[in-house]
Amino acid sequence: MSKPFLPFAMPDIGDDEIAEVVDTLRSGWVTTGPKAKRFEADFAAFLGDASLHCIAVNSATAGLHLALEALGIGPGDEVITTTHTFTATAEVVRYLGADVKLVDIDPATLNIDPRLIEAAVTPKTKAIIPVHYGGLAADMPAILALAQRRGLAVVEDAAHALPTTSGGRLVGTLASDAAVFSFYANKTITTGEGGMLVTRDAALAKRAQVMRLHGMSRDAFDRFTAQVPSWYYEIVAPGFKYNLTDIAAAIGLQQLKKAHAFAQRRTQIAQRFNAAFARLPVLTAPEPPAGELHAWHLYPLRLRDDAPVGRDALIERLFARGIGCSVHYIPLHQQPYWRERYGLTAAMFPHSQRVYERQLSLPIYTRMSDADVERVIDAVRGALGGGA
């Protein structure tokens, strides 16, 4: 390999983030403290809605768990989500003793199909978790209308969706009960590990704030400031350990300032890919409706039936050319736990299954140079017999 390997993903961390972290370390506040609070406030300001409660947590998984717990999801309940997602979306339902109903995707958008949600609703159904796959908004008008009609809660898995819009509004400001963002290392902004639960529901927010730190009536920051008596707290519920540290929040404070610029760069890369692959035997990534923002967390490329190689062989050829790639996702109906618990088969999810068999994710991140983008294009063309 004559050129360095181009990884599938890489965080874009600069001097601003490093300086903010150093300032945090020097301050003495390394766990949840003033910078976590600032990050929450800045996140609400980024979304542009003063009525929002933003609750910083140590992962999006934690945020989804807290949201469902606050909504009272428990044994005997069912929650509907898509099979075409990472296991975290569904596993939080099982944490609470409830059951998951998985449905297929719309092959045009790769997002959950609202018509299949409707068909899956039973008297036990209490909530829907739509996933904004790859940064493209799910059909939220249809999902929210269905939820209102059937009396269901909606918790958006927005792990990929910063900044994404639906109906001209940023995900996080829609009429759902909650939206949960991820700041994992490969997401559109990062804190290393972390997430944000966003809601307008004051009662949900209060419950999540208590439960994210052991069920304490006061969090660590409040207890160790100058309030009197600063030592006193009460345990009001058996909570969790889901708080975000100030070290992580410090990174997030600077990353958030760059979120729109990051999104613009990923959009440029996606547009270049779509143009470059238009004549190849592939389906390029679904684009957003006119006027909407796509966060472009992922760039999924699907092979058509007339492609000269299969998905696995294409991945091997790209790796041989020094290009990292991945698959999003091995759907839940293919995973032993979910398959065996609910008796799932591939035939039950034909669209997700076909996407899984034919699709891979290409690198799309802000540290890629124009030359890196062209390397990916040349490698894909060469691997599919289209030149280079």
Same domain, yes or no, for 137 and 148?
A: yes
d(CA 347, CA 287): 27
Same domain, yes or no, for 182 and 285?
A: no
Dig out the tokens for 297 from the structure. Answer: 């967390």
Same domain, yes or no, for 341 and 228?
A: no
Task: Please identify, among 210, 239, 257, the residue that sits at the C-terminal boundary of a domain.
Answer: 257
d(CA 10, CA 181): 18
How confident is the model at residue 308, as a pLDDT?
A: 97
Encode pLDDT of 164-222 as tens digits: 999 999 999 999 999 999 999 999 999 999 999 999 999 999 999 999 999 998 766 66
Average pLDDT over residues 74-103: 98
Is 22 part of a structural domain of the chain? yes
User: Which pLDDT band holds residue 271 (cuts at 50, 70, 90)?
Assistant: very high
Dig out the tokens for 125 from the structure. Answer: 């159904």
Is 122 part of a structural domain of the chain? yes
Is 4 part of a structural domain of the chain? no
What amino acid positions are annotated as catalytic residues? Answer: 187
Encode pLDDT of 209-233 as tens digits: 999 999 998 766 666 665 556 778 8
Count how many domains the chain has.
2
pLDDT, mean over the chain: 96
Long-range CB contacts for residues 231-240, cutoff 8 Å, separation at least 24:
236/210, 237/210, 237/211, 239/210, 239/211, 239/212, 239/213, 239/214, 239/215, 240/62, 240/65, 240/66, 240/211, 240/212, 240/213, 240/214
Helix (H) or strand (E) holding 94: helix 88-95
Same domain, yes or no, for 375 and 354?
A: yes
Is 162 part of a structural domain of the chain? yes
Same domain, yes or no, for 196 and 269?
A: no
Is 3 part of a structural domain of the chain? no
Task: Please identify, among 257, 274, 290, the residue that sits at the C-terminal boundary of a domain.
Answer: 257
Task: Provide the residue type at 39 as one letter.
Answer: F
Encode pLDDT of 109-135 as tens digits: 999 999 999 999 999 999 999 999 999
Is 102 part of a structural domain of the chain? yes
Same domain, yes or no, for 242 and 285?
A: no
| CB-based contact 363:323 (threshold 8 Å) | yes
Task: Please identify, among 227, 257, 287, the residue that sits at the C-terminal boundary of a domain.
Answer: 257
Same domain, yes or no, for 231 and 281?
A: no
Dig out the tokens for 76 from the structure. Answer: 């005997």
CA 199 to chain centre: 16
Task: Provide the residue type at 110 as one letter.
Answer: L
Same domain, yes or no, for 153 and 234?
A: yes
Is 8 part of a structural domain of the chain? no
pLDDT at 296 > cutoff 70? yes
Q: Which among 111, 168, 178 is positioned nearest to 138, based on CA atoms? A: 111
pLDDT at 302 > cutoff 80? yes
Encode pLDDT of 139-162 as tens digits: 999 999 999 999 999 999 999 999
Q: Which among 110, 179, 109 is positioned nearest to 144, based on CA atoms? A: 179
Same domain, yes or no, for 102 and 193?
A: yes
Strands 99-103 and 78-82 come out as parallel
User: Which pLDDT band holds residue 328 (cuts at 50, 70, 90)?
Assistant: very high
Dig out the tokens for 296 from the structure. Answer: 């472009």
Total number of residues shown for the chain: 388
Q: Which among 10, 6, 37, 7 is positioned nearest to 250, based on CA atoms? A: 37
Alpha-carbon distances of 346 from 104, 254, 353, 383, rounded to whole Å: 10, 43, 6, 28
In CATH, what number is assigned to the domain containing residue 242? Answer: 3.40.640.10
DSSP 370: H
Average pLDDT over residues 82-91: 98
Same domain, yes or no, for 249 and 293?
A: no
Range 205-244 burial, b when 16+ CB lie within 10 A, else e: bebbbbbbbbbbebbbbeeeeeeeeeeebeeeeebbebbb
Structural domain including 350 reads 259-383
Same domain, yes or no, for 173 and 39?
A: yes
DSSP letter string, 256-319: HHTHHHHHHHHHHHHHHHHHHTTTSSEEPPPPPPTT-----S-EEEEE-TT-SS-HHHHHHHHH
Residue 50, number of CB atoms within 10 A of its CB: 7
**Helix and strand element counts for the chain (H, E):** 14, 12
pLDDT at 8 > cutoff 60? yes
Same domain, yes or no, for 84 and 189?
A: yes
pLDDT at 2 > cutoff 80? no
In CATH, what number is assigned to the domain containing residue 269? Answer: 3.90.1150.10
What are the backbone dihedrals phi and psi of residue 231, each rounded to the nearest 5 degrees, phi first? -85, -15
Average pLDDT over residues 335-363: 98
How confident is the model at residue 255, as a pLDDT?
A: 99
d(CA 220, CA 230): 10
Q: SS3 helix, strand, coil % of the chain, rounded to 5?
A: 40, 15, 45
Is 9 part of a structural domain of the chain? no
